[in-house]
Amino acid sequence: MILGVSGPYAAGKGEVIAYLEERSFYGLSLSDVIRQELEALDLSETRERMIETGTRLRSEGGPAALATRLIEQLLPDRNYVIDSIRHPAEVEALRAHDPAFRLLWVDADEAVRLERLKSRGRPGDPETLADMRRLEGREQGGDDPAGQQLAAVRALAHFELENTGSLAHLHAEVQRILERSLFFERPSWDEYFMSIARVVASRSNCVKRKVGAVIAKDRRIISTGYNGTPRGVRNCNEGGCPRCNSFAQGGAQLEECLCSHGEENAITQAAYHGVRVPDGTIYTTFSPCLMCTKMIINAGLAEVVYNADYPLGEVSLELLREAGVKVRRVGG
């Protein structure tokens, strides 16, 4: 779950974020990107300088520049709350990253907010209602497309929270919003196993093509394999395979190839460790070659799920079907 928080001065955004952080959300702020820029320039932080630097970064890198930098830090296994969203392009970038992204707008009466500003006493905060209105007017939007556009951000909010009551009331409202936002998508079993096969492929030492395979049975991984030179032999990327290192034409010089294939290694690894594979499913990033196809059939595997077509692989697919092995292609 990724929640964004935005709103005017002293509306209570910090209290919302603190509440969420206490509930295992990781707090991030687009303003931290600006602070890092000021630190690199050896400049002190002021409200005016933050606004100017943020505008410059958006002007140089596009209106979503701050969000783009922050998105690079997001991990798929965590809940996040993101502060200081001040441009609609930032909302769109976060929504593109995760369609389940939700934006919360926090607000309060301006007289209440001014009293909060006076009580916290931060340098650069406005001290009068006129000063606050002047600064907030600048942040609402203007002719500069790279400037802050809080009014446009508010229009994109999924929820609005009026923070004029007690802290307990604020927390209750945030809890209600959490319950309404409890939505996420889990990958299908095919997507799950194929994504693991892609990670397995990243271990390949073959210089021509990286292939990964996963054998699953009863929705449990029982073996994995990736292509590369045999155990105890110099790795392909270290010069171990003459065919691959000469970048031979596809289908040629196969008698010189010393690399074992991903499906082959998944099956032989299972045999090496005494793991039974009959009736299992092999997920592979490429459709199998003819040699691996024969191994798949004779090993008793019931299904082949692949992602991309292997060159010259149509005969293999026909042979699998003839042998009664189910064949499916998933993904692009």
Question: Which sequence positions are flagged as catalytic?
Answer: 263
Q: Is the dihedral of CA 247, 252, 254, 256 positive or negative?
A: negative
Note whether 107 and 8 are within 8 A (CB): yes
Token readout for 109 is 């009466």
3-state helix, strand, coil in the chain (%, to 5): 45, 15, 40
Distance CA 93, CA 137 (A): 24
How far CA 44 is from CA of 39, 132, 154, in Å, comes to 7, 21, 29
**Alpha carbon of residue 83 to chain centroid:** 18
Strand order in the sheet with 303-308: 220-226, 212-217, 281-286, 303-308, 326-329
Scan for tokens 């995760």, then name that residue.
Answer: 98
294, two tokens? 């024969």
Report the relative pairing of strands 79-83 and 25-29 from DSSP bridges.
parallel
- Which element (helix H / strand E) includes 304? strand 303-308
Cα–Cα–Cα angle for 19, 21, 26, nearest 5°? 150
